[in-house]
Structure 1
Amino acid sequence: MLFLARMDVHFPESMDADTVADFQAKEKAYSGDLQEKGIMKAIWRVVGEYANYSIYDVDDHDELQSIFQNFPMFKYMDVHVTPLAKHPNALEYYLRG
């Protein structure tokens, strides 16, 4: 099942720079692992915001929820999920895994 997720990060203003950097390093490692496993198919930044769009390929909703909850910055994120289905006008190239 494919899902598009938008993640917006909101750190408290009181959080010190070293703590933010630690979260960012852990987040990079976790998302890199998801990409290497083929779970996170793609990720893009939202220009001018501390946000991203990413595509996930998972077996079910529970797996996706577990993935999100394991993000190191999860408690500082707003996550909006959209389920995706193949579009009849999509070129075959874009439908390949």
Structure 2
Amino acid sequence: MLFMVEMDVNIPLGFDPEEAAQLKAAEKARFQELQQAGTWRHIWRVVGQYANVSIFDVPSNTELHDILMSLPLYPFMTMHVTALCRHPSSLHDDDR
């Protein structure tokens, strides 16, 4: 199942900079792990914001929920999730 996840990150201004840097490094490592597994298929930055739009390929809603909750920056994120399905006019066979 494909899902579009819009993530906005809001780390409080007074948050410890060293702890924020550690969380960002852990987030990057987790992202790369999920990307290598084919779970986090795409990610795009939103210009001018600390935000992204991502495409996840997971077998269930529950698995997506668990993945999102496992992200180190999850406590600082606002997310909007949209389930996607293949458009019949798509030329790409991997749009499942």
Taking structure 2 as the reference length, the TM-score comes to 0.94
Q: 1:67-78 to 2 correspondence within 5 Å? A: 67-78=67-78
Q: Which residue pairs with 1:23 in the alignment?
A: 23
Partner residue, 1:6: 6
Q: TM-score, normalised by structure 1?
A: 0.93
Q: CA deviation at 1:17?
A: 1.8
Q: How many residues align?
A: 95
CA RMSD of superposed structures (Å) = 1.0
Letter of the structure 1 residue corresponding to residue 56 of structure 2: Y
Matches within 5 A, 1:56-75: 56-75=56-75
The secondary structure found in structure 2 opposite 1:35 is helix
Could you say which residue in structure 1 is the equivalent of 2:40? 40
Q: Displaced runs of 4+ in structure 1, greater than 4 A?
A: none
Identity, in percent, stands at 43
Q: Corresponding residue for 1:53?
A: 53
- Offset of residue 6 of structure 1: 0.4
CA offsets 1:20-69 (integer angstroms, 9 cap, x no match) = 11111000000000000000001110010000011001111100000000
Deviations 1:62-94 (A, max 9, x none): 0000000000010100010000011112112xx
1:96 maps to: 94
- Secondary structure of 2:53 counterpart: strand
* Distance in 1, Cα, partners of 2:34 & 2:11: 23
**2:86 paired residue number:** 86
